Every structure is written in C-alpha cells, then in structure tokens.
C-alpha cells in the first residue's frame, strides 16, 4: 500500500449466502446429498467492499438491508472487516437479500439471488453519500440493485470526476447512456456475451466482444475469463493476461475480489494495467478458500502470493 490510505465508495448489494457443497450441481428435478451447510455474508457489493477493506482501503458502502437477523449478522461482519457502514440502511418489513449457492467439487458454483431490500436502494440513498463519493479514488457498482440507482451513481461519479467501475453482474443489456459514463467495465465471459451478443468462449471471441463494448462508449474493458485470465482493452490496444493457477476450492466471489482490488489499486494511483495485474492475484487467492467474504485476501497475503509466483502478459 502507498503512504496515503486509498478511499473508495462501493454502491451495491448485500446478501446472506446459504451454501451447500456437493460432488456436482444437481440436474433439474434431481435430488442429491451434499456436504455441510454454510451461512456466510455475501452479495456482490458487500463482497467488493470487504475485499477492498481487507486490502487496507477506507471503504464507504452504500447499501440496503432488511430488518431481519441476516441484516444484524451482516452489519457485525462489516464492522469487523473495517467497512464504513454509515450509508448502510435498513428497510423495515422487508427481508435482506439472500443467495442460494451450490458449489461442486471443482469449485464451480450456481447461484440464485432473492434480492429483498437490495431492490430498495434508491437514488436518494446514493445522493446522501455524494460528499464521500467526491473524496473517493474510485466508485464501484454492480447490477444487483436497481438500474436507475446504478445510472444515478454513474452520473454523480461523472459530476465529481471520480473513476466509475461497473461490474455488470448479474448481466443485462445496458444502454449507451450508462455505458458512456463507465470508465472501467469488468464483465466475465457470460456477462460480456449478454452485453454484446458475441458468444465469448476463447481469446478471439473476447477480442470481438471488447471491440463492441469500446465502440459502445466504454473507456476500458477488463473481460475476466476465470482461470484462463483476462483481456484488458482500451482505445490504445488489447492485452491478454493469463490467469494465476491455483487449486480451486470455491470460485464464488472471485470476480468480486478482482473488482474490489482493482478499485483499491486505482485509488492508490496505479495504472489500470498494474491494478488489474494485482487484482488477478487477489482473485486467484480468493478461489483457494470457501465462501465469499471469508475468502477475500489481505494485502499481506496477496503480496506474499505475488512474491512466490510469476505472471506474464503479451501486448497487442
Ligand atoms: O459474486 C458472488 C455473489 O453473488 C455471492 O456472494 C452472492 O450473494 C451473489 O450476490
């Protein structure tokens, strides 16, 4: 970390993850016996906030929880992880977000989310954080909260001239009005396919999808491809960076580890390429542990991991 503590604002979802591990993901209509049940704090927004806080950043999290036991559990966890919760609100009479997650023996997962209070996150909630957004080195959003709220956050980030990072998950088609306000778009293969109509399955199709997104007005695209690596694309060119090989235990929230770390790197003043390179290691490390937030590494863990590995990229 640099001398000055980086500050970021994360606007997004918080869920409680109800996880079962099994040999494989069951087929439709099938019942199988799995391993032990696990309840861990998750949600793409909260995961990214915790990932950044664990790397040492000052993190403002703008979110909505319900008024149930899951909300209390999440709030305790945010405070334990060092996330600033002044903009985490609770909506009476509404359940908190819940995610049902199955993880197979290779670490792959299947997730269904009941958004609950995440659906109530409003433009007004984001407006309340304007002053802290303006002091941030990066603003991060995902798509588990209303699209109008995300668009409003992008508008504020633009007005106060802070880089806006959008992790477009879960994917949906996005209008050019929003895409033009995105400084860094970080889709995975599935999300890039939905956003562009190009079926992303290898390096060549990833290039085509990135070209389309850049033409749509996005300034930089980082298309992550799981263990294969990621493609970094902007108007200057494209660079494919291979993944960091690890023994996968649970890939849940690997993308969130990447996005949270990327935001911290930017807020530290790193170039996008340097920040993405570091995020690639943080994401790989997160895959070696079970659960979303418990798997987010600290800066010390990432630094030691980087020191023990090498990862080369080729510029096009
Ligand atoms: O990205 C992983 C997350 O997706 C999980 O923590 C789950 O809550 C869903 O939001």
* Best residue for ligand 1 mutational test, from 256, 260, 283 (most atoms within 8 Å of Cβ): 256
Please check the confidence at residue 312 and state whether its pLDDT lies above 70. Answer: no
- Residues lining ligand 1, judged by CB closer than 6 Å? 13, 15, 17, 42-44, 47, 99, 111, 113, 144, 252-253, 255-256, 292
User: pLDDT tens digits, residue range 62-71?
Assistant: 999 999 999 9
Q: What is the pLDDT of residue 310?
A: 63
**What residues act catalytically?**
256
45-101 pLDDT tens trace = 999 999 999 999 999 999 999 999 999 999 999 999 999 999 999 999 999 999 999
Q: Could you report the per-residue pLDDT of 260-300, keeping only the tens digit for each?
A: 999 999 999 999 999 999 999 999 999 999 999 999 999 99
pLDDT for the residue numbered 315:
43
pLDDT band at 3 (very low <50, low <70, confident <90, very high): low
What's the count of helices (H) and strands (E) in the chain, helices before strands?
Answer: 11, 14
Task: Determine the CATH number of domain 7-304.
Answer: 3.40.1190.20
**Rounded distance between C-alpha atoms, residue 169 and residue 108, angstroms:** 17
Pairing of strands 164-166, 184-185: parallel
- What are the helix (H) ranges across the chain? 44-54, 69-81, 123-127, 130-134, 147-159, 176-179, 189-196, 203-215, 254-267, 272-286, 299-307
Share of the chain above pLDDT 70, in %: 97
- Max Cα distance, the chain (Å): 55
pLDDT at 311 over 60: no
């Amino acid at each position: 970390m640099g001398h000055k503590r980086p500050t970021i604002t994360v606007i997004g979802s918080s869920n409680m993850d109800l996880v079962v591990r099994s040999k494989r993901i069951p087929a439709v209509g099938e019942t199988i016996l799995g391993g032990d049940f696990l309840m861990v704090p998750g949600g793409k927004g909260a995961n990214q906030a915790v990932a950044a806080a664990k790397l040492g950043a000052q993190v403002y999290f703008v979110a909505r929880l319900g008024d149930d036991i899951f909300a209390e559990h999440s709030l305790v966890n945010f405070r334990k992880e060092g996330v600033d919760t002044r903009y985490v609100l609770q909506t009476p009479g509404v359940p908190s977000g819940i995610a049902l997650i199955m993880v197979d023996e290779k670490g792959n997962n299947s997730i269904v989310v009941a958004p609950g209070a995440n659906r109530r996150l409003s433009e007004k909630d984001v407006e309340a954080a304007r002053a802290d957004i303006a002091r941030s080195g990066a603003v991060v959003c995902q798509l588990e909260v209303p699209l109008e709220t995300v668009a409003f956050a992008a508008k504020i980030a633009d007005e106060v001239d802070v880089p806006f990072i959008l992790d477009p998950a879960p994917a949906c088609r996005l209008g050019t009005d929003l895409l033009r306000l995105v400084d860094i778009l970080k889709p995975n293969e599935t999300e890039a396919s939905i956003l562009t109509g190009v079926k992303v399955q290898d390096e060549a199709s990833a290039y085509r999808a990135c070209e389309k997104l850049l033409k749509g007005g996005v300034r930089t695209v980082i298309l992550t491809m799981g263990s294969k690596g990621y493609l970094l694309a902007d108007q200057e060119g494209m660079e494919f960076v291979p993944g960091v090989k690890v023994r996968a235990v649970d890939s849940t929230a690997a993308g969130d580890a990447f996005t949270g770390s990327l935001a911290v790197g930017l807020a530290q003043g790193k170039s996008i390429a340097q920040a993405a390179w570091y995020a690639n290691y943080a994401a790989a490390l997160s895959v070696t542990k079970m659960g979303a937030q418990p798997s987010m590494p600290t800066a010390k863990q990432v630094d030691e991991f980087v020191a023990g590995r090498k990862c080369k990229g080729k510029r096009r």
